[in-house]
Structure 1
């Protein structure tokens, strides 16, 4: 039975590297996969990229992308063994449901990787639905500067100061976000 998986973590936990390793494992065994990443993150250039240097080409999704139709068209041409989605927090709720349908009706495993929460500690809409309906939830671990598990994503300004206001989504990497444990996240925001 195919399942919908959600691998979630704070930033810098190796989500993209984990996705690329899973993709490699399928492909090494001669199985076809289909990779997706968010068009919103224009830094990727249509690629899933990890901080440790691994990367692979991917299809881009927007809020309007019909993932069911796109995947089924590819699957009809030649069977897919797995669909892998990076930056899954940017999926729309209906897109998550269509990915679940791929697992349930087309028997294609779907592995989604993304952030659970934003810089305020609030769920992203795509992540909220994934947490609610995924068959398997897997937390990947990142480490705070204190050595505890990092579960939060602190947004910082160009001087490294905590930011507590703004749009939910602002694309950036280590220059804009710091993975912290909840204690240090709360302390940083209290000082903002």
Structure 2
């Protein structure tokens, strides 16, 4: 039976690489997948999923008004009896809207296609993203993808945003950036940062 999976992790935990790996495993067995990525998340092109280790894959961009259920359904031929799409993969799922998550539940429940959504859970102010909130509510299975803190050897559970080398905890929730703008950290180092303890220099 198909399920909705939410796999979350901080920056640099290998979420996009995991999507590319899962897609490869399915396709090596001749089982087609669909990969979606919110347009706001693009590190370069909006129709690519790219990992920090250098691998890339084509992706279908998701805009605010995209209906993910109808998008997936459009790839299915109702006259064909065998399964046509074996899995739907979502990159940067934290940027999805509530309606996107509800549409993904329909993909699982009505089309019987498993969905794996990968993304951040909390933002640089430790608030849930809209997409992550509704995935936590709706997902059948939730799994953490672990990585280590940038400054120590503890597990990273939070992220710090930097501006001109200094940690900040104010500003717009969505600001796409890389290692120069964000660092994955543990709770202790996160709190230490705002007491003047760490910098991005």
The structural deviation recorded for 1:190 is 3.6
Does the 8 Å contact 2:36/2:61 carry over to 1? yes
d(CA) in 2 for partners of 1:76 and 1:121? Answer: 43
More helix per residue: 1 or 2? 1
Question: Secondary structure at the residue paired with 1:142?
Answer: coil
1:153-192: per-residue Cα shift (whole Å, max 9, x none)? Answer: 100012x210111000001010110000011111113439
Query: What SS class does the counterpart of residue 106 from structure 2 fall into?
Result: helix
Runs of 4+ in 1 over 2 A off after TM superposition: 41-44, 75-78, 189-192
Deviations 1:28-75 (A, max 9, x none): 000010001111124231111111111100000011111011110012
Structure-1 separation of matches of 2:126 and 2:173: 10
Cα separation, 2, equivalents of 1:132 and 1:186: 28
- The within-5 A match list for 1:55-94 is 55-76=56-77, 79-94=84-99
**1:118 matched to which residue of 2?**
123
Find the counterpart in structure 1 of residue 157 from structure 2: 151
Measure, in 1, the Cα distance between the counterparts of 2:143 and 2:44.
24
Where in structure 2 are there 5+ consecutive unaligned residues?
A: none
Paired residues of 2:50 and 2:56 also in contact (CA < 8 A): yes
Residue 128 of structure 1: how far off its partner (Å):
0.4
Task: List runs of 5+ in structure 1 lacking aligned partners.
Answer: none
Distance 1:42 1:17, change over 3 A: closer
**Secondary structure of 1:169's partner?**
coil
SS at structure 1 position matched to 2:125: coil
Distance 1:76 1:42 in 2: 30
Q: How many residues are aligned here?
A: 191
Contact 2:159 2:183 in 1 (8 A): yes
Aligned CA-pair RMSD: 1.3
- Given that residues 10 and 159 in structure 2 are in contact (C-alpha distance below 8 angstroms), is that contact kept between their aligned partners in structure 1? yes
- TM value normalised by structure 1: 0.96
Aligned to 1:109: 114
| Match in the other structure for 1:26 | 26
